[in-house]
């Protein structure tokens, strides 16, 4: 007899009427709960300290372009796409510039496309990145009064 009573108490799944009543009670409690009051208790409680950080204004990206073309110590073109740079080099070669320097800022390399009057095609040589770079900061010129 005791085993039958224990079986009735520990039935699984539980009785549907009991479950539906407990769900209804839970829903009633949830509807009574006001989330705004709960938030106000947290934010207005002097014991709880919440650090509100100011949002910094993000500036525009100042990412440097990867490739730079230099002709006669002047920057002619800046870009990130290899095909665009190759097209610009081809255009500069058609204009017969004696020295075209390609600077790759990511790999820290430079390439010199050079041609003399007697040569038909351009020669490509590895250059010195530090020496070929035109991106050195300009010196400030102070005006002197006469």
pLDDT tens-digit map of 97-109: 999 999 998 889 9
pLDDT of the residue at 140: 47
Cα separation, 29 vs 122, in Å, equals 83
Closest by Cα among 128, 122, 72, 138 to 103: 128
Extract the tokens encoding 79.
Answer: 């870009």
pLDDT tens-digit map of 31-75: 777 777 777 777 777 666 666 667 767 666 667 788 999 998 889
Q: Does residue 141 surpass a pLDDT of 90?
A: no
Q: Does residue 135 surpass a pLDDT of 60?
A: no
Q: Does residue 138 surpass a pLDDT of 50?
A: no
């Amino acid at each position: 007899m005791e085993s039958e009573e224990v079986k009735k108490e520990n039935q699984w799944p539980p009785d549907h009427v009991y479950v539906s009543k407990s769900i209804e009670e839970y829903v009633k409690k949830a509807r009574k709960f006001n989330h705004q009051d709960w938030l106000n208790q947290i934010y207005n409680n002097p014991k709880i300290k919440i650090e509100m950080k100011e949002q910094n204004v993000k500036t525009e990206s100042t990412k440097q372009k990867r490739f730079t073309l230099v002709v006669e110590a002047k920057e002619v073109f800046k870009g990130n796409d290899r095909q665009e740079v190759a097209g610009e080099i081809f255009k500069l070669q058609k204009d017969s510039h004696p020295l075209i320097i390609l600077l790759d800022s990511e790999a820290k390399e430079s390439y010199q496309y050079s041609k003399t009057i007697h040569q038909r095609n351009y020669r490509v040589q590895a250059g010195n990145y530090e020496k070929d770079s035109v991106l050195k900061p300009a010196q400030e010129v102070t005006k002197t009064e006469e």
